[in-house]
Chain A
Amino acid sequence: MTGCIKMPQTHLSAIALEKSYRKGKLQVPVLRGVDVQVKKGEFVSIIGQSGSGKSTLLHLLGLLDGPDVGEILLDGQRIDDLPRQDRDRLRNRVFGFIFQFYHLLPELDLLENVLAPLMIRHSVWEYWKRRKEFRDLGRELIAKVGLEHRLTHRPSELSGGEMQRAAIARALVAQPEVLLADEPTGNLDNKSGREIMDLLSSLNEGRQLTIIMVTHDEALARQAHRTVRLAEGRLQVQREAA
C-alpha cells in the first residue's frame, strides 16, 4: 500500500460519503454525499462554517470513523470496509493526524510523545531492540520543528505553538503518506499560526507529503493548493489556488 505512484495520480478519494449522527431520536445528517479527490503531494484545505461537517469528513478520510454510505479509496483501493486491525494499521502507518488542541499525552515527555506512534506500531521487544534508531529519528524530527531544547519537557510545560509543533513531529515520526490537520492553527496566536503553516508548507514541498487541512480561516486556506468548501454537508466549489 505504500507503493511508488506517479505524481498526478489520485492518492486519497472519497466517493458519495454520507454520515449522520444520532442525537437521541433525532437523526442529524452531517455529510450528504461528498466526493473529494486528493492527488499525491497535494495540499488541500477544507473550509466551511462550524457544523458544516468538515471535521467529520477529515475523520472519515483518516478512518477514525466509518461512513454510513460511500467509500474511501487509498491508491484506488477501498479502505473504509477493511477489518478493524487493518484500519488501525493504516491509521498508524499511512495517516498522520494533527488536532486543533494538539492532544499530546500529558503523562509522557516530548520525546516519548513524538515516539508514541512507533511504540504503538512495534512490540516491546522490537521497540527495545531499535530504541536507539527510533530515538535518533525522534530527536531529528524534534530538531526539525525547532524544539530540541524541550526534549524532556512535559506537554504542560510547553506553549501552544510548541505543542502543535510537537504534534506535527509526532505525526511525521511514523512517516505517513497523508497528513490530516484539523484546524492546526485554530488555537494559536498569529505568529505561531504562521510558523505552523510555514512548517506544513515546507513539509508538503520537501517531502511531497499529501496534506489535507481543515480550517474556517479563508486566509489560511489560500495557502493550500486547492480549497474545498463544505456547506451543510455538501461540497460547494472546488477552487484551484494560484
Chain B
Amino acid sequence: MYKLLLCSRYLRTRYIALASIVSVMLGVATMIVVNSVMAGFSTQMRERIHGILADMVLEVNDTNGAPNPELTMEKIRKVAGKYIESMSPVAEIYAMASFQWHGQIITKPVTLIGIEPDSKAKVGVLKDHLGNYQVQQDGDKVAQPAARSMDQDPNWDLLDKYLKYRKMRVEQHKWMQRKEAPEQDTEMAPAEVAPGPSIADDKTFPFVPEPDELQFTENPFPQGDPFKDDSEPHELTVEEQAAPLPGRLYVGIGVVSFQYENKNDGKLETEVMAVPGDDITIMTVNAGRPPAVVSFNATIVDTFKSGMSEYDANLVFCNLSYLQDIRGMINPSTGERSFSSIHIKLKDYKYADEVVHLLRTSPEIPVGLFSVQTWESKQGPLLAAVSVESAILNVLLFLIIAVAGFGILAIFFMIVVEKTRDIGVLKALGASSAGVQSIFLGYGLALGIVGSGVGMISGLVFVWNINWIESWLTWLTGHKVFDQRIYYFPTIPTSIEPLMVFWVAFGAMSIAVLASILPARRAAQMNPVQCLRYE
C-alpha cells in the first residue's frame, strides 16, 4: 500500500522527474506525428498506385500484344477463377501527345493506355480520379456539383457542356473564316487560328471540311471515321462539325496543365492548356513490321488526376477498340483483337501471392509470353524505399526516447540519493528490499505512463490539426512549409494507426521502467543503518 501512496506522492512533488519525462513525451509525440504523416503519405500513394494498376496485372511481354483477350481471360478464370472478382483488358503503348497552346505546339511523351472504362472502373478506382466525378470546391463551399454521380459507370461520351463548348469553337472558327475569306487564301490551315482569350487555346480542327486538309488524316481504318462525308464537306452543319472524334481520351492532368507561382501573392496556380472538348494529336507506332508512325486526333472527354504526379504527367487513357484499330492490333483474317495486359481485381487481396503462383505455374499461361505481378511487386522499389525510410526514421526516433531513458536514469539516481534517509526509515519500519525497489520501479512506470500518455495525446492533437499548424507556421515564418507542388497533396495527408500508437506508447513506457531498474536496485540494496546514520 505504501508503495502506491509514495509513488503518487513522488509523482506530485518531484517536479524534476517530470522534467525528465518531457523528453519522453516529446519523443512519443514526435514518433506519433512522423509515423502518422508517413503512413498518410504512404497509404495515399499506395491507394493511388493501386487504383491505377488494379490488384494484379498480367502483362504480355511483347509490346504489340497477344491476340484474343477474351480467351486469355477465360484461361485465367479457369486457373484461378475462385479468387477473381473482375478483369479488364488493356493495351499499353508509348506515344507522343501534342496540342497547341497560345499558338505554340506542345509535344509531350506519354503512355497511351487503351481501356474499356466500364470494366476498368470495376478493377480499379478510375472514377475517383476522373474530373467529371469530382465536386468543384472553392474553399469550403461547393462551387459546382459533380457532373457525374458516382453510381454512373464511366464511358467515352462527351458531356453536354463540352459539346456546347465544341459548338462554340466551331462557330467562332467559321466567323473567323468568313471574316478573313476576302483577303486570305482558302488553304489557310485552321491550326493557325490566332490565339484567343481563352486559356484553352488549342484549336486544331482537322475535321473542318476543307478537302485539302483531309488528305493529311492518317487514319487507316475507315470504320467509325468522322470523315465519311468527305464528298460534301461544305454542307456540314455546326452540330456535325462539332461532333466529337471517334478517338476519345482521358488525359492526365499533368499532361495538359502546369503549375506556377503567382508573382503577386505567391499562391500556387494551375494553368490548363487543354480542357475536355478539345482535340489533341496523338502519335504512336503501329503493330506492323517494321513499326510505322501513326498519328490521330482524339477528343478529350475528361481529365484524370490520381495525385501521383508520375502518372498524372504521363498517362493518357484512350478507348481500347479505337486504339486497336489505329495500331492495327487486329488479325485481319480472324478479326481477333490484341491486348497488352489484363488488369485483375481479386475478391480478397490476401490471396494475391497464391493467385500469382497459380498463374505463373499454369501451362495455360505460357511464362515466356506473359508475366504476372501484383501491383506491389510491380512498384516494389518505390514501396520498399518508403518502408525502409520509415523504418530508419523509427529507429532514430526511438533512439531519442532511449536518450530520454538515460535522462530518467540519471535523475532517478539523484532521487534515490535524496531519498536515502526515507529508504532507511521504510526499511526500519519493516519494508522489504523488494518493496523499496518496487516503489522506484512503480515510480518509473508512473512517469512512463504520464510521459507517453501526454505525449500520445499531444501527438494525436498535433496530427489532427497538422494542416492548421502548417498554415500557421507558414504565416509565422512567411515560408511555405508544405509546398503542394513538391508533394502533390493539397493538404498534409495523415493516417493514425492505433497499433502504431500503442507500440510507441508501450515502448516509451518500457524504456522508463528499464531506466528505473538500476536506481531501484540501488535503493533496494541500501543498508538501512548507513541510510539512517548520517544527518
Binding site for B on A (CB under 8 A): 55-56, 59, 62, 64-65, 84-85, 88-93, 97, 99, 101, 103-108, 112, 116-117, 119-124, 127-128, 170, 174
Q: Which B residues lie within 8 Å of A93 (CB)?
A: 430
- B13 near A120 (CB under 8 angstroms)? no
- B429 near A92 (CB under 8 angstroms)? yes
Closest approach, in angstroms, between the C-beta of A219 and any C-beta of chain B?
Answer: 23
Closest approach, in angstroms, between the C-beta of A107 and any C-beta of chain B?
Answer: 4
- B425 near A103 (CB under 8 angstroms)? yes
B10 at the interface (CB under 8 A from A): yes
| Cβ-Cβ contact count across A and B, 8 Å cutoff | 80
In the assembled complex, the Cα of A89 lies from the Cα of B529 at a distance in Å of: 17
- A116 near B2 (CB under 8 angstroms)? yes
In the assembled complex, the Cα of A103 lies from the Cα of B2 at a distance in Å of: 16
In the assembled complex, the Cα of A134 lies from the Cα of B64 at a distance in Å of: 91
Q: Which B residues lie within 8 Å of A85 (CB)?
A: 432
Closest approach, in angstroms, between the C-beta of B529 and any C-beta of chain A?
Answer: 5
A64's partner among B6, B421, B427, B435 (CB-CB below 8 A) is B427
In the assembled complex, the Cα of A101 lies from the Cα of B422 at a distance in Å of: 12
Closest approach, in angstroms, between the C-beta of A156 and any C-beta of chain B?
Answer: 11
Known pairs A55-B533, A93-B430; list 19 more (Cβ under 8 Å): A65-B529, A88-B427, A89-B430, A91-B429, A92-B429, A97-B428, A97-B429, A99-B425, A99-B532, A103-B422, A104-B425, A105-B6, A105-B422, A108-B5, A119-B5, A120-B430, A120-B431, A120-B435, A127-B1
Q: Which B residues lie within 8 Å of A170 (CB)?
A: 429
10 residue pairs, one from A and one from B, having the closest CB atoms: A92-B430, A107-B9, A119-B2, A119-B1, A127-B1, A91-B430, A103-B425, A65-B529, A88-B432, A117-B429
Q: Which A residues lie within 8 Å of B431 (CB)?
A: 88, 92, 120
In the assembled complex, the Cα of A228 lies from the Cα of B435 at a distance in Å of: 36
Closest approach, in angstroms, between the C-beta of A227 and any C-beta of chain B?
Answer: 24
B424 at the interface (CB under 8 A from A): yes
**With A99-B532, A103-B421 as given contacts, are A108 and B9 in contact (CB-CB < 8 Å)?**
yes
Q: Which A residues lie within 8 Å of B429 (CB)?
A: 91-92, 97, 116-117, 120, 170, 174
In the assembled complex, the Cα of A134 lies from the Cα of B432 at a distance in Å of: 21
Q: Which A residues lie within 8 Å of B424 (CB)?
A: 103
Closest approach, in angstroms, between the C-beta of A10 and any C-beta of chain B?
Answer: 24
B426 closest partner in A (C-beta):
A120
Q: Which B residues lie within 8 Å of A105 (CB)?
A: 6, 422, 425-426
Q: Which A residues lie within 8 Å of B6 (CB)?
A: 105, 107-108
In the assembled complex, the Cα of A241 lies from the Cα of B462 at a distance in Å of: 76
A107 closest partner in B (C-beta):
B9
B527 at the interface (CB under 8 A from A): yes
In the assembled complex, the Cα of A104 lies from the Cα of B424 at a distance in Å of: 11
Q: Which B residues lie within 8 Å of A120 (CB)?
A: 1-2, 426, 429-431, 435
A62 closest partner in B (C-beta):
B428
A56 closest partner in B (C-beta):
B529
Closest approach, in angstroms, between the C-beta of A84 and any C-beta of chain B?
Answer: 7
B4 at the interface (CB under 8 A from A): yes
- B529 near A88 (CB under 8 angstroms)? no
B412-462 with Cβ < 8 A to chain A: 421-422, 424-433, 435
What are 15 pairs between A and B in contact, CB < 8 Å?
A: A56-B529, A64-B427, A64-B528, A64-B529, A65-B528, A65-B529, A84-B433, A88-B432, A90-B430, A91-B427, A91-B429, A91-B430, A97-B429, A123-B1, A127-B1
Q: Which B residues lie within 8 Å of A97 (CB)?
A: 428-429
A117's partner among B10, B430, B433, B528 (CB-CB below 8 A) is B430
Closest approach, in angstroms, between the C-beta of B424 and any C-beta of chain A?
Answer: 7
**B1-42 interface bits toward A, Cβ cutoff 8 Å, 1 = contact, 0 = none:** 110111001100100000000000000000000000000000
B527 closest partner in A (C-beta):
A65
Q: Which A residues lie within 8 Å of B425 (CB)?
A: 99, 103-105
- B529 near A59 (CB under 8 angstroms)? yes
**With A103-B424, A119-B5 as given contacts, are A88 and B430 in contact (CB-CB < 8 Å)?**
yes
In the assembled complex, the Cα of A99 lies from the Cα of B421 at a distance in Å of: 12
Closest approach, in angstroms, between the C-beta of B304 and any C-beta of chain A?
Answer: 65
B151 at the interface (CB under 8 A from A): no
